[in-house]
């Protein structure tokens, strides 16, 4: 199983709503990521979790709050978003952080959640 | 800081013709290099990767890429394109930070396939 599963596939939310994006992998990967992709642009890294601890936060606004409840799950909690936050949110995972135990592996991406903020 | 440049925003190719997508990177150390493909509204699928060793890398779907350190390039090629290859292609360079892995993507090249 080399799959990263994201739910929901589509989400429309108002600017006062609170919602969560979910990501799940069962490959035993210990590094998980959130990326944001605007239309016709490349993905941009938001957060990295390594061994269930937040290791990189790319200066993301606090209205985005990541959570890693266990090694298989990654959530992104959304609150008071703005219309400009509308984008495709991609989750990814990789075996580990590069360099740990000499391992370098690729990142596997989910299909994404298409978020529209109205 | 690392960066990736994909000079071609769009490429149109006839079905059955060859395809080459250019990628140039800027990174001080030996880079980890990747090519991903993305169909509309979908996630990213890894085509191939280069970490070390043989500079000609074979990937899935008949793609290959060649790492040229002297030119800081990692161009993607396919000898004969199929209509299903129409998609967005992203070159990416990976950086191993103490805090974790960072992938920096190029701007992407959209490939259109003519029948």
Any CB–CB contact under 8 A between A107 and chain B?
Answer: yes
Instruction: Give the whole-angstrom CA distance, residue A12 versus residue A19.
Output: 10
pLDDT at site A95: 83
Q: Cα(A27)–Cα(A1) distance, rounded to whole angstroms?
A: 7
Cα–Cα distance, B53 to B67 (Å, whole number) = 10
Residue from A59, A107, A114 to probe the interface with B (highest B Cβ count within 10 Å): A107
Out of B43, B101, B105, the one facing A97 most closely (by C-beta) is B101
Q: How many residues does chain A have?
A: 118
Q: Does A114 sit within 8 Å of B41, measured CB to CB? A: yes
Q: List all residues 6 or more positions away from A37 whose beta carbon is below 8 Å from its beta carbon.
A: A43, A44, A87, A88, A89, A90, A112
Taken as a whole, chain B contains a residue count of: 115
- C-alpha distances in Å from residue A106, one per residue of A40, A61, B96: 23, 27, 12
Q: What is the pLDDT along chain B (115 residues), one digit of tens a residue?
A: 778 999 999 999 999 999 999 999 987 677 889 999 999 888 899 999 998 888 999 999 999 999 999 999 999 999 999 999 999 999 998 876 655 678 889 999 999 999 9
What percent of the residues of chain A are helix, what percent strand, and what percent coil, each to the nearest 5?
5, 55, 40
pLDDT digits (tens, 9 = 90+) for A20-31: 999 999 999 988
Contacts of A45 in chain B (CB under 8 A): 102-104
Contact A69/A88 with Cβ under 8 angstroms?
Answer: no
């Amino acid at each position: 199983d080399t799959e990263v599963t994201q739910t929901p596939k589509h989400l429309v939310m108002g600017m006062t709503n609170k919602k969560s994006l979910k990501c799940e992998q069962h490959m035993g990967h210990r590094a998980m990521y959130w990326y944001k992709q605007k239309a016709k642009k490349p993905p941009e890294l938001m957060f990295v979790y390594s061994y269930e601890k937040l290791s990189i936060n790319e200066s993301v606004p606090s209205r985005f709050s990541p959570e890693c409840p266990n090694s298989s799950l990654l959530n992104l909690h959304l609150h008071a978003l703005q219309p400009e936050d509308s984008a495709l949110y991609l989750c990814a995972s990789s075996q580990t952080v590069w360099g740990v135990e000499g391992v370098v592996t690729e990142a596997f991406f989910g299909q994404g959640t298409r978020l529209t903020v109205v | 800081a690392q960066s990736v440049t994909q000079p071609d925003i769009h490429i149109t190719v006839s079905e059955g013709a060859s395809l080459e997508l250019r990628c140039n990177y800027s990174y001080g150390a030996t880079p980890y290099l990747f090519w991903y493909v993305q169909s509309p509204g979908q996630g990213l699928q890894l085509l191939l990767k280069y970490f070390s060793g043989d500079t000609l890398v074979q990937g899935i779907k008949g793609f290959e890429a060649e790492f040229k350190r002297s030119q800081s390039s990692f161009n993607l090629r396919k000898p004969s394109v199929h209509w299903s290859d129409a998609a967005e292609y992203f070159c990416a360079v990976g950086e191993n930070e103490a805090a974790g892995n960072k992938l920096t993507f190029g701007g992407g090249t959209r490939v259109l396939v003519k029948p």
